[in-house]
C-alpha cells in the first residue's frame, strides 16, 4: 500500500489531501469548533473577524462552527448510505449472476421498476410520507441508489462467472455464497471500489440537494446543503455566506473524484 501511494500521481495526492483535511475537521469537530453547534453568538450575517473566522449565518450562529459540524454530519450520512447501498446492490447483483435463471429475471425486473421512477421525485414522495429522519434518509436513498450498484455488480459478475476457475469451483461442489465471496468479490473489487467513490459523490450531492429542499438533515443540525438554503437570501444583499458551504460541497466532490480517477486508471491496467 505504501508503494502504491508513493507511485500515485500528483492529482491523487491532492485529492487525498483535500479529503483528509475535511475528515480532520469532521472527526475533531468538538475540539476545533470555537462554539456550540446551535449557539447564537453574534448578529445576522457578520463578516470575517477574529471572533468569527467565516462570519455568522442568518440567525447569528458562527459559520465556521456550523461548517465543521456540517462536515461530520453530511459526510457520515453519505458514507453510511453508500455502504448500505453497496451492501444491497452487490449482494443482489452477485447472487443474480451466480444463480441465473428465474431468480435473475425476477430480481432484475424488480430493480428495473425502481429505476423507472425519477430518483429525486421518488425520494421526495417517500420522505414526504414517512418523514425526513436520519434513519428514513439512509434507508430511502440507499434502496434507490442500490439499483445502479446492482446493475454494475451484476454485469461485472456475469463476466466472471463464465471463467474456468468459477466452473471448477462449481464442479468441486462449492455453494453460491462461497463462489461470491472467494471468486467473484476479489476479481470484481477494482471497478467496485471506483464505483463506490462515484456513488459516494452522488449520495453526498443528493443529500445536500434534499437538505436544500428542506427534506434532508433537519435543523438545527448543521448540514452544508441546508446552510446554502438557509443563507440564500444573503446573495440579494451581496453577502458571500451561502457560497462557503456551496464551495465546501464542490471541494469534497473534486477531491473524491481525483482519487476515483486514479482507481479507474489502476483497474484499467493501462500504463502512464
Ordered structural domains, the chain, with CATH? 71-268 (1.10.3720.10)
- Which mean pLDDT values do the consecutive 10-residue runs of the chain (272 residues) have? 75 90 90 90 87 89 92 88 92 89 88 86 86 87 91 90 84 84 84 83 84 81 86 86 90 88 70 52
pLDDT at 89: 92
pLDDT at 272: 52
pTM score = 0.83
Q: Cell 428542506 appears where? A: 214
- How far apart are the C-alpha atoms of 132 and 216, rounded to whole Å? 6
pLDDT at 68: 92
| SS3 state at 220 | coil
pLDDT at 88: 93
Residues 6+ apart with CB under 8 A from 221: 37, 69, 73
- How far apart are the C-alpha atoms of 88 and 90, rounded to whole Å? 6
- How far apart are the C-alpha atoms of 208 and 195, rounded to whole Å? 20
Going by the DSSP 8-state scheme, the letter that residue 218 receives in this structure is: P
Do 188 and 244 meet the contact criterion of CB atoms below 8 Å apart?
no
pLDDT at 180: 87
Amino acid at each position: 500500500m505504501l508503494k502504491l501511494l508513493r507511485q500515485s500521481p500528483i492529482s491523487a495526492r491532492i485529492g487525498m489531501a483535500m479529503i483528509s483535511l475535511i475528515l480532520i475537521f469532521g472527526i475533531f469537530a468538538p475540539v476545533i469548533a470555537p462554539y456550540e453547534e446551535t449557539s447564537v453568538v453574534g448578529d445576522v450575517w457578520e463578516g470575517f473577524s477574529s471572533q468569527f473566522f467565516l462570519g455568522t449565518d442568518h440567525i447569528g450562529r458562527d459559520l465556521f462552527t456550523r461548517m465543521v459540524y456540517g462536515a461530520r454530519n453530511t459526510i457520515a450520512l453519505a458514507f453510511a448510505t453508500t455502504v448500505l447501498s453497496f451492501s444491497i446492490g452487490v449482494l443482489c447483483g452477485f447472487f443474480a449472476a451466480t444463480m441465473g435463471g428465474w431468480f435473475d429475471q425476477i430480481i432484475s425486473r424488480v430493480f428495473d421498476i425502481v429505476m423507472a421512477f425519477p430518483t429525486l421525485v421518488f425520494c421526495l414522495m417517500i420522505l414526504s410520507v414517512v418523514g425526513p429522519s436520519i434513519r428514513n434518509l439512509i434507508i430511502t436513498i440507499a434502496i434507490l441508489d442500490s439499483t445502479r450498484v446492482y446493475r454494475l455488480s451484476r454485469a461485472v459478475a456475469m463476466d466472471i462467472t463464465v471463467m474456468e476457475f468459477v466452473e471448477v469451483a462449481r464442479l468441486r461442489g462449492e455453494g453460491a455464497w462461497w463462489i461470491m465471496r472467494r471468486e467473484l468479490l476479489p476479481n470484481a473489487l477494482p471497478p467496485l471500489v471506483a464505483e463506490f467513490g462515484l456513488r459516494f459523490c452522488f449520495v453526498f450531492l443528493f443529500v445536500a440537494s434534499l437538505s436544500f429542499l428542506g427534506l434532508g438533515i433537519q435543523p438545527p443540525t448543521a448540514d452544508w446543503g441546508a446552510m446554502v438554503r438557509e443563507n440564500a437570501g444573503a446573495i440579494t444583499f451581496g453577502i458571500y455566506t451561502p457560497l462557503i458551504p456551496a464551495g465546501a460541497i464542490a471541494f469534497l466532490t473534486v477531491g473524491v473524484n481525483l482519487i476515483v480517477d486514479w482507481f479507474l486508471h489502476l483497474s484499467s491496467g493501462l500504463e502512464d
